[in-house]
Chain A
Amino acid sequence: AQSVTQLGSHVSVSEGALVLLRCNYSSSVPPYLFWYVQYPNQGLQLLLKYTTGATLVKGINGFEAEFKKSETSFHLTKPSAHMSDAAEYFCAVSDLGYGGSQGNLIFGKGTKLSVKP
């Protein structure tokens, strides 16, 4: 069965500092990996995704993530945090639905990012 673990329920950084949000996954089949962002009182929206090919994926708002199969990780980074990045971030995994998996999107518990001025 698939699962997603996000390390750290809260991360606080200063404006201009590096943002690093950690995500590890468990999947018995090749995974498809996603990062979603949720701004206060809003629904989730897609930040970026990894399907196949290039392991470094660029998303919106300057975020990127690197798929590392050997480490089963898909950490999200941004070189310089902005106040507007304050939100909750969710890592998610899906697959093609073979081998007993339904293929539904499985979400991590989320990491709330705070940005200090």
Chain B
Amino acid sequence: NAGVTQTPKFQVLKTGQSMTLQCAQDMNHEYMSWYRQDPGMGLRLIHYSVGAGITDQGEVPNGYNVSRSTTEDFPLRLLSAAPSQTSVYFCASSPTPRGPKNIQYFGAGTRLSVL
């Protein structure tokens, strides 16, 4: 059981480049989310999805796009990378979007540097 798989593990971009961070889960979870982790800031929610075809913005959505065409996949797109987007990105999935069963399973993360 692979759980939540993120690719790539590391990426270096130049300012203005675009890229897609991939996330896939094999647990048939409805809820998927993207977080960024910065030193001293904890995890901040970028975008989330409560099911295929449904996405919504989190706390820090600017500069990022998402789509959810299947239950399994939830890619995160950086449209025009900026140095402020240098961070560690985590994808997570959960059986339910809220409440007591909102136990999130995390991928191993993507470390992104924007020069």
- Chain A residues with CB under 8 Å of chain B are 9, 32, 34, 41-46, 49, 51-52, 90, 94-97, 102-105, 107-110
Q: Report A-chain residues with C-beta under 8 Å of the C-beta of B41.
A: 109
Question: In the complex, are the beta carbons of A43 and B108 less than 8 A apart?
Answer: yes
- Chain B residues with CB under 8 Å of chain A are 4, 33, 35, 40-45, 48, 56, 58, 90, 92, 97-100, 102-104, 106-109
The A-B contact count (CB < 8 A) is: 65
Q: How far is the CA of A46 from the CA of B106 in the complex (A)?
A: 9
Q: How far is the CA of A51 from the CA of B96 in the complex (A)?
A: 14
Question: In the complex, are the beta carbons of A94 and B42 less than 8 A apart?
Answer: no
B57: min CB distance to chain A, Å: 10
- Contacts A43-B106, A43-B108, A45-B106; is A104 near B45 (CB within 8 Å)? yes
